């Protein structure tokens, strides 16, 4: 099968979140299964400095945006995983900026025009590159116009007749909603600005556009596929997704087991597997405590957190409960990430107040992510909603027990520890049913009580967690089966 994967970011060329990881690893896994995969993504300022080899193709063409024809250049590289070809849409007017979507906390005010250009340029690049495509896979709102372009403007063009479209929702909270006067930029007629196509409460909604025009729709976990059809998690699009539910499928993301593997991890002081975890993981914990300036003690529980510091992630709840666990029970916390300035300041203040028990690194760092996953005893993710989540899977690979809210992909990947799950060997972590302080404290207490007083049970949970298969191959096989439903 010939697959074109289109994304607004792809690691290591550009990244703001998990979409970039998916956009590198899923195509690589599809390629390993024997399929022909190509990626197209923008050429940002950060892409110039990513350290990867990117070359000129000599290909240039004009892309219509509104009433203009914009000169467009194609560059080419390859992914680190799987050597999948990557084409870059270059136009400095739109992409030569310090940020990808925003700068200094403010979205770029021409984001609609920027990604109208990108989507239209992708459609023109298909012809310029002369690539044969069976499945055109677009991702999130930034590429939501692609299924509409194929259906409305390109279907009759030679080479486009047999293409089927798949659109993936990675986080429904971000929909690409713009005022209706941006509609002419798309080049699509006003007759499509209707409630059952592109219009959304009087505005242009690019995520909805992708959902309505795509042949098939996926999202990043089975539970999230159900949740987004409800008023609680639907972000106003629940009725749209209910209407399209026969074509909606939740497929759990995988993780790169090349990058996330304690057996080969170059960042950690003692590599380990299931047979050596009890011997070598404590060495990683000691190293982490030393480097963070925390009290060094193997028996002091160390709880890690890595991710975007946002209300969605429940970071405010974590900040609320830290003083209790530090002062009453001598628990340690280490946190890594950036995000909401208010939450950054709260975590920094806690680290200053409790320097031997709390560490907060306000940054994104691949090295520190690995050090925390290997060195922490537990990993805390009380997200209010979580389409998929990756760190709870990384944690299990590293024998670091996740404490999560039972929602979205967290519910699909972490099995709560209880008598039944211990008996049948499926317990891999601890889950709270509600995203509130009472449930969070109760669940942390269950985990700590097991860590302190039930060593045999704790070791069993570690071994259960490390047995799980989170590889992208498993996910890629499900994508292929879904693609085959729409292959013309």
What does the pLDDT look like over 317-340, one tens digit per residue? 999 999 999 999 999 999 999 889
What is the helix (H) or strand (E) element at residue 168, kind and residue range?
strand 164-169
- pLDDT at residue 34 tops 90: yes
Does this chain's domain 2-254+473-484 share its CATH topology with 277-469? yes
| Range 117-136 average pLDDT | 97
d(CA 339, CA 308): 5
| Range 211-239 average pLDDT | 97
Q: Is 454 exposed, middle or buried (0-12, 13-18, 19+ CB in 10 A)?
A: middle
**pLDDT value of residue 68:** 96
**pLDDT value of residue 487:** 87
Q: pLDDT-derived band of residue 412, with 50, 70 and 90 as boundaries?
A: very high
Show Cβ contacts of residue 193 under 8 Å, excluding neighbours closer than 6 positions. Answer: 180, 183, 199, 204
The CATH code of the domain at 2-254+473-484 is 3.40.50.2000
**pLDDT value of residue 146:** 98
Q: pLDDT-derived band of residue 149, with 50, 70 and 90 as boundaries?
A: very high
Could you tell me the maximum CA-CA distance found in the chain, to the nearest angstrom? 70
> Could you read off the pLDDT of 163-183 as tens digits, one per residue?
999 999 999 999 999 999 999
| Range 69-82 average pLDDT | 92
- pLDDT at residue 404 tops 90: yes
Backbone angles phi, psi at 90, to 5 degrees: -110, 125
Q: pLDDT-derived band of residue 78, with 50, 70 and 90 as boundaries?
A: very high
- pLDDT at residue 81 tops 80: no
- pLDDT at residue 314 tops 90: yes
- Cβ count within 10 A of residue 239: 12
- pLDDT at residue 364 tops 90: no
User: Considering Cα of 40, then 42, then 47, then 53, what sign does the dihedral take?
Assistant: positive
Length of the chain: 488
Average pLDDT score, the chain: 96
Q: What are the structural domain ranges in the chain? A: 2-254+473-484, 277-469
DSSP character at residue 131: -
Place of tokens 């209010």: 384
Spacing of C-alpha 109 from chain mean position: 24
CATH architecture of the domain formed by 277-469: 3-Layer(aba) Sandwich (3.40)
> Could you read off the pLDDT of 233-249 as tens digits, one per residue?
999 999 999 999 999 99
d(CA 296, CA 320): 24
**pLDDT value of residue 86:** 98
Structure tokens at 121: 């340029």
> Helices 472-484 & 18-32, crossing angle to 10 degrees?
70
């Amino acid at each position: 099968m010939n697959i074109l994967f289109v994304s607004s970011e792809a690691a290591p060329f550009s990244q703001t979140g998990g979409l970039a990881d998916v956009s590198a690893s899923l195509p690589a896994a599809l390629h390993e299964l024997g399929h022909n995969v190509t990626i197209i993504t923008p050429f940002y300022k950060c892409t110039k400095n990513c350290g990867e080899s990117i070359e000129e193709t000599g290909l240039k063409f004009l892309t219509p945006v509104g009433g203009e024809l914009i000169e467009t250049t194609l560059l080419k590289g390859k992914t680190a995983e799987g050597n999948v070809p990557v084409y870059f849409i270059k136009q400095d007017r739109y992409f030569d900026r310090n940020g990808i979507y925003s700068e200094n906390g403010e979205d770029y005010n021409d984001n609609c025009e920027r990604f109208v250009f990108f989507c239209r340029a992708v459609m023109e690049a298909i012809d310029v590159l002369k690539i044969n495509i069976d499945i055109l896979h677009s991702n999130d709102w930034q590429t939501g116009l692609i299924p509409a372009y194929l259906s409305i403007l390109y279907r009759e063009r030679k080479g486009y007749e047999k293409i089927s479209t798949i659109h993936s929702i990675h986080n429904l909270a971000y929909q690409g909603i713009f005022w209706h006067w941006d509609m002419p930029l798309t080049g699509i007629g006003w007759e499509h600005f209707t409630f059952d196509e592109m219009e959304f409460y009087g505005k242009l909604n690019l995520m909805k556009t992708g959902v309505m025009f795509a042949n098939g729709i996926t999202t990043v976990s089975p539970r999230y596929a159900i949740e987004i059809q409800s008023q609680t998690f639907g972000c106003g699009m629940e009725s749209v997704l209910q209407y399209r539910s026969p074509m909606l499928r939740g497929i759990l993301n995988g993780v790169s087991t090349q990058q996330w593997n304690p057996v080969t991890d170059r960042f950690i002081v003692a590599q380990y597997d299931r047979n050596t975890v009890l011997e070598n993981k404590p060495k990683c914990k000691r190293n982490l405590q030393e480097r963070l300036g925390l009290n060094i003690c193997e028996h002091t529980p160390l709880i890690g957190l890595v991710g975007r510091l946002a209300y969605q992630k429940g970071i405010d709840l974590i900040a609320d409960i830290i003083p209790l666990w530090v002062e009453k029970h001598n628990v340690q916390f280490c946190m890594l990430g950036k995000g909401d300035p208010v939450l950054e300041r709260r975590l920094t203040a806690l680290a200053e107040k409790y320097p031997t028990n709390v560490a907060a690194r306000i940054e994104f760092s691949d090295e520190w992510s690995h050090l925390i996953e290997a060195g922490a005893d537990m990993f805390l993710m009380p997200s209010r909603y979580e389409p998929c989540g990756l760190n709870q899977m990384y944690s299990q690979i590293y024998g670091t027990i996740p404490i999560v809210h039972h929602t979205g992909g967290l519910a699909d990947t972490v099995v709560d520890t209880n008598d039944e799950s211990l008996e049948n060997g499926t317990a891999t972590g601890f889950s709270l049913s509600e995203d509130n302080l009472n449930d969070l404290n109760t669940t942390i207490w269950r985990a700590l009580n097991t860590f302190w007083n039930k060593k045999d049970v704790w070791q069993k949970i570690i071994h259960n967690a490390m047995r799980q298969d989170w590889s992208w191959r498993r996910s890629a096989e499900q994508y292929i089966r879904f693609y085959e439903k729409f292959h013309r």
